[in-house]
Amino acid sequence: MGAAAALVTGMSASAVAQPLYPAPDPDPFYAAPPDLPALQPGDVIAVRPMPPLLAFPSSTVTMVKFRSTNSTGEPIAATTTVLTPNNHAPDGPLLSYQHIINGLGTQCAVSRVLYSGDPNLQVREAPALNALLLRGWSVALPDHLGPTSAYGAAKLGGQITLDGLRAVRRVGELALGNSRMALLGYSGGGMATSWAAALAPGYAPELPIVGAAEGGVPMNLVKMVEGLGYSRHPVFGLAMAAAIGLEREYPNQLPISEHLNGLGIKLRDQIANGCTNEILVRGAGHSVMDVANETSLAQDPRARAVLEENSLELFDGVPRVPIYEWRSRDDALIPTDAIDNTVRRYCTAGTPVQADQYPSPDHLTTAVLGTPIAVAWIDARFRGEPAPSNC
């Protein structure tokens, strides 16, 4: 995922090519209003009841558009989808679930995937979320990559998650104004979750968050870049996608498109509106050297600064709420030492952290293994039990 920025570690002068943004969503609900700059983060822009979902038969669906902020401080319009259980009690628990979004197209957003019949959501997430809905929990599903599908922009995901929670509290018909809140996510969803937890004390201190469960989180993009290197890789498409996403979010710092060769531009154009499967297929077996003009890329401070800005291991902020963190003992996809270093820093600062490791070396299998424990941990926080810690 974060390995993308190996593409941005050299900024030589070359033919100018502009960032390629996704095709705008044709639904006008997603569009930003003209008065957006006058709004504050978390202000509600629009609310829309949505059709029932077969995957979530015991709930109603509401979409909320709100004002948030991008990585460079500019106002953006973002969206979240709220599942309200039929047995909802006013001010009942609210879980913000950050779905794994490995995509560059607007149709990859959770609010779209919910109605697309995506098998990953239907098979992997729906059963677990339905169990939570039956408990009376409301579930918010933010489109945490933002309006330009800025895949890889981890801090952005945290801000959108927090502003989404602010917004749903203000929607009277959802009856969540005094709800306790928790955060849950894995991998890319874990990035948004962990950043939301770390940013909350400074960005949204008023939110009554009781805990955050984050799994398989890529916590240092610099290390991911170094791990990828210049070798061909079966999931290079995700690295390329993250490079494109980061360029969208930081166009003045990461002019990636300027440094792509013919094959690189072709691959960028092929996946610019793609979701996970297309991105993986198109990029499989390629490397940085296949798609970039430079044969020797020198380290560039602007590129590194962006990677560091989106690396939680290097962020000074510390969550003020308990954390449940889980990962594979030997995850082949992400640098696990970055997770361990971050956990140690949180422990030193006094944050209760329960950190678990699973014997599976497979990144996604670990998500399945750890999610039930994470949900039980969140349930205990909602019930007010003291948070365990193995710091």
Residue 3: per-residue pLDDT: 38
**pLDDT above 50 for 5:** no
Residue 380: per-residue pLDDT: 98
Mean pLDDT of 151-177: 97
Q: Is 312 exposed, middle or buried (0-12, 13-18, 19+ CB in 10 A)?
A: buried
Give the ranges where 204-319 is alpha helix by DSSP (H): 221-228, 236-249, 262-271, 276-283, 288-291, 301-309
Q: How confident is the model at residue 141 (pLDDT cuts 50, 70, 90)?
A: very high
Classified as helix, coil or strand, 45 is strand
Q: How confident is the model at residue 198 (pLDDT cuts 50, 70, 90)?
A: very high
Residue 1: per-residue pLDDT: 39
> By C-alpha distance, which of 93, 96, 121, 127 is closest to 108?
121
Q: What pLDDT, in 10s, does the model give residues 236-257?
A: 888 899 999 999 999 988 888 8
Residue 256: per-residue pLDDT: 84
Determine the topology of domain 1-391 in CATH: Rossmann fold (3.40.50)
> By C-alpha distance, which of 118, 99, 106 is closest to 77?
106
Residue 297: per-residue pLDDT: 36
Q: What pLDDT, in 10s, does the model give residues 374-386?
A: 999 999 999 999 9
Residue 2: per-residue pLDDT: 35
Rounded to whole angstroms, the Cα distance separating 270 from 77 reads 26
Q: How many residues does the chain have?
A: 391
Number of neighbouring beta carbons within 10 Å of residue 325: 25
**pLDDT above 60 for 115:** yes
Residue 116: per-residue pLDDT: 86
> What tokens appear for 139 in the block?
């579930």
> By C-alpha distance, which of 278, 292, 191 is closest to 238?
278
Residue 287: per-residue pLDDT: 82
Mean pLDDT of the chain: 90
Say which amino acid occupies 289: M
> What tokens appear for 262 in the block?
């013919």
Distance from CA of residue 242 to its chain's centroid? 12
Question: What are 76's strand-pairing partners?
Answer: 68
**pLDDT above 60 for 16:** no
Rounded to whole angstroms, the Cα distance separating 265 from 76 reads 27
Q: How confident is the model at residue 122 (pLDDT cuts 50, 70, 90)?
A: low
Q: What pLDDT, in 10s, does the model give residues 270-326?
A: 999 999 889 988 988 888 888 887 643 345 788 889 999 999 999 999 999 999 999
Residue 123: per-residue pLDDT: 61
Residue 331: per-residue pLDDT: 86
Residue 334: per-residue pLDDT: 87
Mean pLDDT of 191-204: 98
Residue 120: per-residue pLDDT: 65
